[in-house]
Amino acid sequence: MARKTTSSDSPENYAYINARLRSRGARFFSSEELRRLADGVLEDLEVALLDGRYAEVLRSRLVTSERSAFRRVEKTLSLGTAQSFDVLRRRAEGETAVLVDILLARADFQNARLMLRSMTSPHRSPKEMPFWASFGVLSPALFGELWESHDLQEFASRCRGIPHPFGGVLWEASQDLMRHGSLPRAERHLLLGYLEFLRRALDPWKSSGADRVREYLGRLADVWNSGIWLRERAGYLSASESVQAYVPGGACLSLDRLRRSSTLEALVSHTCWRDVARRGAPFSPHRTQQRFAESFLRWQASLFRKDLLGIDVGIGFIGLQLLEEQNLNRVAVGMALGLPSRRIQETLLFMEPDA
């Protein structure tokens, strides 16, 4: 990862890091506060952010230069998340630092996937750059340079010049896209390279914390594979196409289970995803995929009160921060669309840090 830390370096500092993270748990918006915010307007949300830990970010020039209240809120939440994670990354040592870097690399995958998708869009404009997740190993400025690519060939060439293994992963995915013209195939190539690199980074570590992060990566593979399985059930993929699209190394959904299961209940029964199957709920591939992603995020957040001397608190803190960003963004989007409070609240995922 970004830091050349090995098992022979300075020992982990979980006790120190976790004490700091636990003290920050009370600063997240509560379920009741989120419900109250959903009753208001965008200006009320801005005021709430100014009154809390997002104040410094909201007052920064990067945010105040935005004329739109919605864009100010969006930028504040993204930068606030990055700020929270930067504190975690800078203070972590030894094993803690390695595992934190692996967990935060999700931003690099998110940005890289967004880049791949943009290169296949006929409506892409180099001038309309998205707001990048800014807590990964690769900087938003680097993705900004990639965004300036005029075509896939130039994009691939720029990827090859990135002085980090993730650059090679993105280059290989872009090569696959150029050869086969299939975005799903290229995204699978990207995910495989991302997981392979992170699992190699975990190889020297044999602790329970490293095992928990291996489980995290396995659950990430499960979420991808569940999407493939759902597309086959909906008739978008054939059985043979699904088999080729799955990625190995899932935590709870083996490739054999994915091939054999004909119903959602059979797929998730007696696994860590059993909460995804809801009795009486109509089968919707899109909504079911959302439930897998939500279950993954809930599991992460639930670890905040688990092993207080391990990586669980860190995973839980990251999950709670991402959950808050998602909820507040949904409140902002709902307000911008003029949705009633009830509709906005139905989109929120409630989980208290001390629950």
Cβ-based neighbour number of residue 28 at 10 Å: 22
Give the C-alpha separation, 86 to 157, whole Å. Answer: 30
Give the C-alpha separation, 276 to 298, whole Å. Answer: 12
CA dihedral 153, 109, 256, 269 (to 10 degrees): -150
Question: What are phi and psi for residue 75, nearest 5 degrees?
Answer: -65, -40
Give the C-alpha separation, 282 to 274, whole Å. Answer: 16
How remote is the C-alpha of 164 from its chain's centroid? 20
Q: What is the pLDDT of residue 131?
A: 85
Give the C-alpha separation, 183 to 114, whole Å. Answer: 11
266-275 long-range contacts (CB < 8 A, ≥24 apart) are 267/226, 267/229, 272/219, 272/222, 272/299, 273/222, 273/226
Q: What is the pLDDT of residue 8?
A: 43
Q: What angle do CA 273, 274, 280 make, to 5 degrees?
A: 125
Q: What burial letters (b/e) apply to 259-283, b meaning 16+ CB within 10 Å?
A: eebeebeebbeebbbeebbeeeeee
Give the C-alpha separation, 234 to 245, whole Å. Answer: 15
Using an 8 Å Cβ cutoff, are 242 and 264 in contact? no
Using an 8 Å Cβ cutoff, are 219 and 300 in contact? no
Q: What is the pLDDT of residue 124?
A: 81
For 5-41, give the DSSP string.
--TTSSPP-HHHHHHHHHHHGGGSPPHHHHHHHHTS-
Closest by Cα among 331, 205, 233 to 289: 233
Give the C-alpha separation, 58 to 240, whole Å. Answer: 50
For the chain, the maximum distance between any two Cα atoms, rounded to a whole number of angstroms, is: 56
Cβ-based neighbour number of residue 95 at 10 Å: 24
Give the C-alpha separation, 5 to 97, whole Å. Answer: 8
Give the C-alpha separation, 313 to 334, whole Å. Answer: 31
Cβ-based neighbour number of residue 27 at 10 Å: 12
Q: Over the stretch 264-317, which tens digit does the pLDDT of each residue have?
A: 999 999 999 999 987 666 778 899 999 999 999 999 999 999 988 899 999 999
User: Could you list the pLDDT tens digit for every one of the 355 residues in the chain?
Assistant: 545 444 445 577 899 999 999 988 878 999 999 999 999 999 999 999 999 899 999 898 778 788 888 989 999 999 999 999 998 999 999 999 999 999 999 999 999 999 999 999 888 877 788 889 989 999 999 999 999 998 999 999 999 999 999 999 999 999 999 999 999 999 999 999 999 999 999 999 999 999 999 999 999 999 999 999 999 999 999 999 999 999 999 999 999 999 999 999 999 999 999 999 876 667 788 999 999 999 999 999 999 999 888 999 999 999 999 999 999 999 999 999 999 999 999 999 987 554 4
Using an 8 Å Cβ cutoff, are 30 and 325 in contact? no
Give the C-alpha separation, 117 to 128, whole Å. Answer: 14
Q: What is the pLDDT of residue 4?
A: 45
Q: What is the pLDDT of residue 5?
A: 47
Q: Over the stretch 21-50, which tens digit does the pLDDT of each residue have?
A: 998 887 899 999 999 999 999 999 999 999
Q: What is the pLDDT of residue 1?
A: 56
